Structure 1
């Protein structure tokens, strides 16, 4: 004779519905994107590129978040900085402000494009976010200057040339704060899943999390072709004033984007 309490079957469905509602959605980290139309330029491919800038969740393919007017936008090439902020054009995506620009290359050099975005208020986390972001584009196979530092408060120094990478290559870098390595820094990694082709089976798959070693060095092997973002996160030393008027902590991020290509 069964000892199962009466009514147990009738309670199963509501319990399952509750558990389903409580199940976490795929985790989504904030990433400032800085994506050029290509990471290598030659006369054969054309000497002009487009650059797209958004604040979003790359692996989740959105949503897009509002960007204020960037504090800085420029390029470092041949040891010289060039201010490109005036070239930025606001573009509305999903009802939010993003930016685009175009750039024409004139001489061989590795070009480090970079942005210091306006601080972003994240009420859900009770903090301001500033992600100092860069990407390297090689012009005419110069292959020099790809490891040049912009001089951000927090920045990733690449230890692997950040272009000409095959799928399955490993990317290594040093997390630096005010120029000094950050021991055991936390680095978040996301794939730019722009077409939504990659299904995320569970939250931890959306944002990969790795820690640097005692010298601030980290490594990650990229399993799929496309753009990969690496974000080294530290807490800012000075609080900021939120739109609510209160003093809140600041998340500083040093980001770099690299692209991998499948072997034919």
Structure 2
């Protein structure tokens, strides 16, 4: 009996010490800049572990999708369409084992036809994470610039959880510092963790020294401000972890993790420039 109890304790300790990787609501546009003439921009919106490449979680249609432009918030729920994806991309080592497993993600197309900064956002359904005994509710956004008019990128959309960029979020070089201010419930969120992950879309980033490098973590200061120096080119997600009360699931109440997410793209240095 004592041996069984020790084995059970060891199993619990192993489970508690195993890495818990970050969930991210993606909102990735087909382009960051619209130039020349009006264009339709497509948005890819899965809920997944971006650095690892999966799994993609099966989720219901978002509560709300839209953009903030010129001081007004426009809801475009009818533009959202469901897409069916494999749980893991073809390059992932788990793909063959789970090739028949499917998950719902979402996409949308929006015509961008006026000069200025469009802040696109998505509010998904709260996701119940059974293994962690909580709901995860992320409100994600991304900024698209149109026709060179750089106005509005730092405007608050008015989401319950939101990261306000303090650095222009669509013209970042590799090595630039990204800074943002976390607002939860309309107030600056001090001392909260901000998880940072790279969107490893094609699986080319591998060979990390440790699993600890999958999710980087920084904390906000007393004003809710954080910063992070972007190490290489591509899409980077920042998720500020907040609290959103409780929600019921199957007759039991669980805590709600209310997260503010923003996606930014870092560009490689131009030809002829050395770091």
Q: TM-score, normalised by structure 2?
A: 0.84
Corresponding residue for residue 8 of structure 1: none
State how far apart, in whole Å, the 1-side matches of 2:36 and 2:41 are.
12
Corresponding residue for residue 52 of structure 1: 44
Q: Does 1:37 align with 2:43?
A: no
Moved over 6 A (4+): none
Root-mean-square deviation over aligned CA pairs: 1.6
SS in 1 for 2:132: coil
Corresponding residue for residue 8 of structure 2: none
Corresponding residue for residue 262 of structure 1: 268
Once the two structures are superposed, residues 204-252 of structure 1 have per-residue CA deviations (whole angstroms, 9 ceiling, x without a partner) of 100001111111110000111000000001111x31012x321100000
Corresponding residue for residue 218 of structure 1: 226
- Superposed, which structure 2 residues align to 1:60-79 within 5 Å? 60-79=52-71
State how far apart, in whole Å, the 1-side matches of 2:81 and 2:108 are.
6
Corresponding residue for residue 97 of structure 2: none
State how far apart, in whole Å, the 2-side matches of 1:194 and 1:201 are.
20
Does the 8 A contact of 1:25 with 1:203 survive in 2? no
Match for 1:101 among 87, 108, 117? 108
State how far apart, in whole Å, the 2-side matches of 1:127 and 1:64 are.
18
Once the two structures are superposed, residues 6-61 of structure 1 have per-residue CA deviations (whole angstroms, 9 ceiling, x without a partner) of xxxxxxxxxxxxxxx99x876521000000011111017x6222110000000001
Does the 8 A contact of 1:27 with 1:204 survive in 2? no
Corresponding residue for residue 84 of structure 2: 92
Q: Taking structure 1 as reference, are residues 256 and 160 closer, same or farther at Cα in structure 2, changes over 3 Å only?
A: same
SS in 2 for 1:239: strand
Corresponding residue for residue 132 of structure 1: 139
Larger Rg: 1
Instruction: State the shift of 1:153 in Å.
Output: 1.5
Does the 8 A contact of 1:192 with 1:228 survive in 2? yes
- Superposed, which structure 2 residues align to 1:173-212 within 5 Å? 173-199=180-206, 200-212=208-220
Instruction: State the shift of 1:201 in Å.
Output: 3.0
Instruction: State the shift of 1:146 in Å.
Output: 0.2
State how far apart, in whole Å, the 2-side matches of 1:43 and 1:241 are.
49
SS in 1 for 2:57: coil
State how far apart, in whole Å, the 1-side matches of 2:123 and 2:158 are.
11
